[in-house]
Amino acid sequence: MSTSSSHSSPTHAARAGVGRPAAGRRAAAGPALILGASALWGTTGTVASLAPAGASPLAVGAATMGFGGLLTVAIAARRTLAVLRGGRAVLPYALFGALGVVVYPLAFYTSMAWAGIAVGTVVSIGSAPMFAALLERLLDGARLTRRWLVATTAAAVGCAALVLTGDGAAEAATGDDRLPAGVALGLLAGAGYAAYAYCAARIIGRGHSSRGAMGALFGLATLVLLPVFAVTGGELAGSAGGLAVIAYLALIPMCLAYVLFGAGLARVTVSAATTLSLFEPVVAAVLGVAVVGERLGVTAWAGVGLVVVGLFVLTVRRR
């Protein structure tokens, strides 16, 4: 979530609306920042698969967002404190957004462990635009544009193609009874992701910096995530390989990616940001083939193509 803070004044942000893109170069940079963050997120499943056998997915998720959250606070301590001292205007969003941050990694990594990397990633990220659009519609009265609908439909159909032809489908055929629960957890992760993205956008819309908004959400979430890791992380923290996995996930797809995401969220709407995040399962699928050795058929690659088309529709600039 540029790594710089939002340049909008509180008055301008209030007039522009929550999460509405600014004009000029700042708005043009927004999609690129979200896509950059999504590319980094797409590496999480592959790296998490390198964790020691027996490591709990709860531990992986708690370590990723917990330690990464501490880093996010450290690089924006003053701005984070400004958000936490913002009073009733922002504190409810910080608390509700932190809850979303807690739910997301615990549900996401467990979903990948139970339903497969491809299915867990696609369901978690693919469902987020739907939840984000519902939040904006119900809480802000926002209208959904035809452009967003076309982009999201194309990307969602592409995600469905990946699910139906990925490893999760093969597991379902063999009778793995954890697949439905894994898909349900993926939907829960998508709801959590949409919730904290929405809350971060509202905080930014109140005039706070993107780094401060993300620092507040993730800083509060660490109060829950680190105790979860303390209880479940023995196997993960007990080896050099496990520590390397923790270090990478906390530094790159957590801390760095969320700095990019926060900056992008200051420039695009929440619904657009979550749709752009559908680039993540594309990266995850490609890495699954290139690194992990997974196989994708023609239908799955067609799904990847549809996601890319949807992202193009959403990001291309109109005159």
- Sequence-distant (6+) residues with CB within 8 A of 249 are 44, 47, 48, 60, 63, 64, 68
Q: What is the mean pLDDT of residues 288-302?
A: 73
Per-residue pLDDT tens digits for 163-200: 676 544 444 433 457 777 888 898 899 999 999 999 99
Q: Regarding predicted confidence, which is higher, 51 or 284?
A: 51
Model pLDDT for residues 20-39, shown as the tens digit of each residue: 444 455 556 888 999 999 99
Give pLDDT, residue 8: 35
Cβ–Cβ < 8 Å for 210, 34: no
> Under a CB-based contact definition with an 8 Å cutoff, are residues 279 and 36 in contact?
no
Reply yes or no on whether the pLDDT at 3 is more than 50: no
HEC string for 16-73 = HCCCCCCCHHHHHHHHHHHHHHHHHHCCHHHHHCCCCCCCCHHHHHHHHHHHHHHHHH
User: What's the rounded mean pLDDT across residues 230-257?
Assistant: 91
The answer, yes or no, to whether residue 9 has pLDDT greater than 70, is no
Question: Two tokens at 16?
Answer: 């522009």
Q: Distance between alpha carbon 105 and the CA centroid of its chain, in Å?
A: 9
